[in-house]
Structure 1
Amino acid sequence: MDETAVPGEAVLTDDGIRLWAARAADGPGGPVILCHGGPGIWDTLEEPAALLREHRVFRWDQRGCGRSQRSGPYSTERSVADLDAVRRHFGLERMALLGHSWGARLALSYALARPARVSGLIYVSGTGIDDDSTWHPAYKETFRGRLGGHRERWEELRDRRGDRTEAEDREFAVLQWSVDFADRDRRRALERAEAMATPWFGVNYACNATITAELRRTSATDGLRDRCAALGLPVLIVDGENDIRPRRAVDSLERALPDVTRTTLPGAGHMPWSEDPEGFRAAAGAFLARLRGDSR
C-alpha cells in the first residue's frame, strides 16, 4: 500500500502539536486505534489495519514521527495524552487499542491511565514490564546472528551514526528491520523491511533515546505490576514464535494481568501479521468480537 495515498487528518494536541491520523477502515465493528512501534518511527501498520477492516480502524503517527510535527517533548505520559487527543478528534467515547512493540507499552500505559476509555487491549510483540536486562542480551545475540552476511555493513553504518547520509540512514534501518522477520529467505525479509521504509520519513533518534531511557527507569517496579494487576480490562497478548526478542520477557505481564489471553503464532517474527496473516486475523478478530458481545 502506498502510504502517501492514505487520507490523513490533522489532530491538534492540548499543547498545540499537529499529529497525522487516518481512518484506515470503516467496518461495522467497534473502533480500534492502532499504536505503532519505535519509539521514533512512524505508523507501519497498514497490514493489520487491512486484516481488521471489519472494524472502524484508526492509525496515527506519534509526535515527532513520520507525518506528525517533529517536535517534543517526548515521554510516555505525553504519548498517552496525544493518543487521547486522537480519540477525541474522532469522537470516540470508548475504543479497543492494538499496540505493537513499543506501541504495546504505550497502549498498556493508556489503558492504565484511562481505563474507562478502553474496551480491550491487544498487546502485540511487546517486551513486558520487567527490566530489559532479563531479555536484551539474548536479543542482541540473536539479532547479530540473523543479520548474517549483512552484519559487517550494519556495524559500519551503526558506527557512523551522525555522519550518515539520508540514504544510508534508510539502508541502516532496512538492515535492522529485516531481522524482525522470521522468513528464512533473507532476501524476502529485506524486501519486507524495504516496504516498511517506503516512503521514508526518517527516524527520530532523539525521541527514541528519550523514551527508551524512561522505560528502563520505570520498568520492573512493584507499582507498575500492581497497576497491571488492578486493570479490569480484557487483554490479548499476541506473540510471534520466532520473534528475536525472547517471548519470556512478556511472562511477568501475563502473570500480572487478571483477564488475559495469550496467542503465539508459529513461525512468525516480530511482525506476526506479516508471516501469519490468517492466524493474526483469527486471534485479533475473535478477541474484538468478544468485546463487541460483552458490550451488548
Structure 2
Amino acid sequence: MTVSNDESPLSLDGSEIHVCQDGPRDAPALLLIHGTAASLRWWDPMVPLLAGSHHVIRIDLLGCGQSAKPDDASYALPDQARQIGAALDRLGIEHAIVVGHSSGSAFATALAEQRPDLVTALAFINFGPNMAAYIAEDIAIEPLQWPHLTDEQLRQMMSSGFRPGYEIPQPYVDHFRDIDLHVFAATSQAIRVYLEEQGLPERLMPLGKPLLVIFGEEDRRWRPCAAAEYRAVPDATIEMLPGVGHSPNIEDPPRTAVPLLTFTANHTQPAT
C-alpha cells in the first residue's frame, strides 16, 4: 500500500478527522471519499496513479479508520457532508473534484448539495442511483460473535464487494475486522434514509455538475444496468468496466484510473 506524504488529524467540532494528502499542493484538488465499513486506505492502490497530476485528499469519515468515534455523533449524510466541507476549508481548498466509491458517492452528493461553490465535478464508482438498484443481502452481524470470526468468515461477508472469485487482500480483511459496529449500523441506516428521500440522479439534476459514473459489470451489490439511470443528469458520462466487481479501485486500479483521469483533465479548475 502507498505511504501518504502528509497524514494528520484535523480537529473539527471537537472531533478529530484523519486526513491524508498526496501529490503537489499546487495541483488541482481531488477528494476521494470511501464507502461504508471502509476507510481512506481503500484508495491506496489508486493514489500513485492520481497524485502525479492532482493534490489528492483522502479522509476517514467520522467513526471510520483513524477518525474519532464519539458516542453522540450524528452519522446523517448532511451532517457528515458539513464536516467534509469544513475539512476542505481548513486545508484551504476552494475547488475540488469529488470522487466517491460505493456509498462514498452519496456523501459526495450531499457535499455538492451543500457546497456547490466547492465541488467542481463528481465521479462515482459503483453506487446505485436509488435503493431499487440494491441487490445484495444485508450483512447480519452478531456483536458477541464478531471478535471470534475467522479471516475466511470475514472474507465471505465481504465477498459481494468484489468480483466473483477475487481473493480479498489481507489488509482489507483487517480493516473490516476493525470497523465499529455501531458506526456501521448507523451509517448504513443514514444512507438508506438519504436514498429513500430522493435518488441521486434527482438530487444531481438541478446542480449542473459534470458527472462520471464508473461501474464494474460484475457488481454484486448494485445492479449494474441501473447505472443507465444516471443519464438523466446533464453532462453525465457512464463507463462500464467488464471483468471487475463492486471495487474497481482495488480490483483493477490502472483501468479505473483511465476514465477518471480523462474526466478530471476535462473538468479541473486551476488550484488557488
- TM superposition score normalised by structure 2: 0.86
Q: AA paired with 2:136?
A: Y
Alignment pair present for 1:216 and 2:195: no
Which consecutive unaligned segments of at least 5 residues does structure 1 have?
144-154
Deviation, structure 1 residue 232: 1.2
Aligned residues: 267
CA 1:200–1:246 in structure 2 vs 1: closer, same or farther (change >3 Å)? closer
CA 1:266–1:167 in structure 2 vs 1: closer, same or farther (change >3 Å)? same
Deviation, structure 1 residue 171: 5.2
Alignment pair present for 1:230 and 2:206: yes
Contact 2:77–2:194 (Cα < 8 Å) also in 1: no
CA distance in structure 1 between the aligned counterparts of 2:197 and 2:9, rounded to whole angstroms: 36
Contact 1:41–1:204 (Cα < 8 Å) also in 2: no
Deviation, structure 1 residue 32: 0.5
Q: AA paired with 1:164?
A: Q
Counterpart position of 1:289: 265
Within-5 A mapping of 1:1-296? 1=1, 7-13=6-12, 15-26=13-24, 29-38=27-36, 40-43=37-40, 44-54=42-52, 55-71=54-70, 72-128=73-129, 130=130, 132=131, 134-136=132-134, 138-140=135-137, 158=140, 161-166=142-147, 168=149, 172-182=153-163, 186=165, 189-192=166-169, 194-198=170-174, 202-221=178-197, 226-244=202-220, 245-252=222-229, 254-292=230-268
Aligned to 1:163, the other structure's residue is in SS state: coil
CA distance in structure 1 between the aligned counterparts of 2:49 and 2:43, rounded to whole angstroms: 10
- For residues 80-110 of structure 1, the C-alpha deviation after alignment (integer angstroms, 9 at most, x for no partner) is 0111122022210111111100101111111
Largest Rg, 1 or 2: 1
Deviation, structure 1 residue 270: 1.0
- Identity level (%): 23
Aligned to 1:264, the other structure's residue is in SS state: strand
Deviation, structure 1 residue 218: 3.4
- TM superposition score normalised by structure 1: 0.79
The structure whose residues are more often helix, as a share, is 1
| RMSD of Structure 2 on Structure 1 (CA) | 2.9
Q: AA paired with 2:263?
A: F
